Amino acid sequence: MGGVRRVTDRDFAERVLAARGPVLVEFTAEWCPPCRQLAPVLAELAVEQEGRLAVVALDVDANPETRNAYGVLSMPTLMVFRDGEPVRSLVGARAKSRLLRELDDLL
């Protein structure tokens, strides 16, 4: 069964950049209230879009290399990767319906 999986600096290249199909990465932090607000939305999305879109979360405090590599300054930042490249970046929490509209052309 799908769900939001954790990624780290160590496995980011393998699990995100080398993935087949699009991967939505949430750059998040424990101290971030909007990140906590977005968590159930991403959990639903991960299950509903399983097989079409992988959803992962990266803790920016524990994984500064990846955060710095992509210039992430605000949490939550959502970045969609395809074929090893970021193709969409969104900042801030949002409702599931809005997020689906913003990602529709990538699915």
Provide the annotated active-site residues: 32, 35
**Residue entry with tokens 């992430």:** 72
Distance CA 62, CA 72 (A): 14
Report residue 44: phi and psi, to 5°: -65, -45
Separation of alpha carbons 63 and 67, rounded Å:
7
Cα gap 1→100, rounded to integer Å = 20
User: Which ranges of 7-95 does DSSP label H, i.e. alpha helix?
Assistant: 12, 33-48, 64-69
Can you read off the two tokens belonging to residue 65?
């290399």
